[in-house]
Structure 1
Amino acid sequence: MSARFEGSYLGDAGKIAPDAVLECKICWHVYDPAIGDDTRQIKAGTPFSALPDDWRCPQCDGERDQFMVVHAGTAPVPAAPTLAMLAIEKARQLTDAFRDIHDNKMRDTPFTNRSLAVEAIGFRPWDGHILGVLVVPWFMNLVLMPGPEDDWGHFKTGEKHIFTFPSGDYEFVFNQRPSTGPYFACSLFSPMEDFSSQLQATDTARMVMAALFDPASRAAEDDRAGEIRALREADLAAEADRTKAVEETAAAPVAVVESVPSRRALLTLGQNKPGEDAA
């Protein structure tokens, strides 16, 4: 781990106990592993030294190396890496692998956004796995990597699998690389031409991670599905009314009947030309 902690055992994060309490020297916000950090969905029990690389002070947005130890803790420093520490290492492996792909294969391709760089965002433990968002100049994916207890040897490249989160069900595709091992990926954006800066892309990735664990997102999706069904039913009813009106007009040629406007006509504010509704 490369993070530097001022006033914390000469910067050796490996000597910080899992239950050590640290304080931001800028705003005095305290990070207590027993509590975690709700703003970033950091679960209680996560040591400060195992926080995601992009974690910052939730109060003043100060960098993590501005935190100082205020209580050294009593728990022994673990000999083996925790799942949170494994998340940091997996994110590093993924970043290194795709930086190499970018530098040697993708840099000059037409669908690579030269304003963007490879970055792993918010990688953390989830349900025994490692979850985060991978941003590269040509795509943004949710990535799920195996934890210590996972055996993904039976999966084949290209195989699809559904994972369920508080916000809904998502389809992931299995892949593996020599430098990263196996992982599942769920496409979010591809290509990345609509992003004008790295900051815009990483902010979007963080919002994705937050929305993923927000049950309200599932309710909003259900509402949108209901709206779509309602619009479709209205279209069918309008079509039935229009058919009936045409039949009545044919039976009484002296009557002038204006047909019910189609959904396309409504959306285009009546600007579509005669005959376009059939398209």
Structure 2
Amino acid sequence: MHAPDVVRRAATDPAHDPSRRVEAAFAQIAATRMRDLPYLNPSLEVAAVGFRLWQSSWIGVLVTPWGINLLQLPTDDAPFAAWRAADAIDVTLPGAMLAFVPARLDALGEYRQCSLFSPAQQFADQASALATAHEVLRLLFEPEASADATVAAVATPAPPADPRRRRLFGLRP
């Protein structure tokens, strides 16, 4: 079996997809330490969206009542290098280069995150948050298909301040 077959098998094998672990870890956080915070969007629930393999790591979007983040998790055979909390790691995806911040949860292990929307008050419901998560992944992983996309396609009234994220949404830096 050559490398593309291994990647294809891992990407479709539920035992390797981190979505359930991500949802379980963040659902626990939502039910405990984030439960009564005033900036939560009560219309949103924890959801792991579109996790896929990318260069020996998993990339996907995490929707929570407090924000929407792009997450990167290591694969079992390619752990992340040591990090410091102040480190930012630039990750190059087909559609953008984004800065990810290292993090760790006991229930999840090491991961990296890139804030897309925080807080997530602009989303009226879970469906609009999920649609935005899917659109972000499309823009990041299918940039040629989204060359004609406009800012309205993402529907973000408050664009991120980081110029690299601004480019992702079709805005000038």
TM-score, normalising length: structure 1? 0.49
CA distance in 2 between partners of 1:142 and 1:118 (Å): 13
- Deviation string 1:147-203 (CA, Å, 9 cap, x unpaired) is 122232511224200011111211100001110000010110000111010011001
Match of 1:127 among 49, 52, 55: 55
Mark the CA change 1:45 to 1:94 in structure 2 (over 3 Å): closer, same or farther: closer
Work out the percentage of aligned pairs sharing the same amino acid. Answer: 33
Cα shift at 1:45: 7.0
Deviations 1:29-78 (A, max 9, x none): xxxxx9xxxxxxxx99735x964xxxxxxxxxxxxxxxxxxxxxxxxxxx
The code of the aligned residue for 1:169 comes to M
C-alpha distance in structure 2 between counterparts of 1:144 and 1:164, whole Å: 12
Distance 1:211 1:152 in 2: 25
The equivalent residue for 1:46 is 8
Aligned position for 1:163: 91
Number of equivalences: 151
Partner of 2:40: 112
Note the alpha carbon deviations across 1:84-115, whole angstroms, 9 max, x for none.
6412xx22111111111111121221100111
Secondary structure (helix, strand or coil) at the match of 1:199 reads helix
3-state SS of 1:86 partner: coil
Distance in 2, Cα, partners of 1:46 & 1:151? 19
Unaligned runs of 5+ in 1: 1-33, 35-42, 52-81, 229-279
- Which of structures 1 and 2 has the bigger CA Rg? 1
Where 1:176 maps in the other structure, the secondary structure is strand
Higher fraction of helix? 1
Counterpart mapping for 1:143-222 below 5 A: 143-216=71-144, 221=167
Cα separation, 2, equivalents of 1:133 and 1:107:
21
Q: Distance in 1 between matches of 2:41 and 2:148?
A: 34
Whether the aligned pair in 2 keeps the contact of 1:116 and 1:137 (CA below 8 Å) is: yes
Contact 2:71 2:112 in 1 (8 A): yes
- Unpaired runs of 5+ residues, structure 2, are 150-166
When normalised by structure 2's length, the TM-score is: 0.76
Contact in 1 for aligned 2:11/2:52 (Cα 8 Å): no
Report if aligned partners of 1:121, 1:206 keep a CA contact under 8 Å in 2: yes
Structure 1 counterpart of 2:31, from 74, 86, 103: 103
Any idea what SS the aligned residue of 2:82 has? coil
Residue aligned with 2:31, SS: helix
Alignment partners' CA distance in 1, 2:96 and 2:147: 5
Q: Decide whether the 8 Å contact of 1:117 with 1:136 is kept in 2.
A: yes
For residue 123 of structure 2, give the secondary structure of its aligned residue in structure 1.
coil
Query: Residues of 2 paired with 1:187 and 1:46: CA distance?
Result: 28
Q: Is the 8 Å Cα contact of residues 167 and 213 (structure 1) preserved in structure 2?
A: yes
Q: Is the 8 A contact 2:11 2:53 kept in 1?
A: no
Letter in 1 for 2:94: P
Q: Which amino acid aligns with 1:93?
A: R
Preserved CA contact (<8 Å) 2:46 2:62 = yes
SS of the residue aligned with 2:16? helix
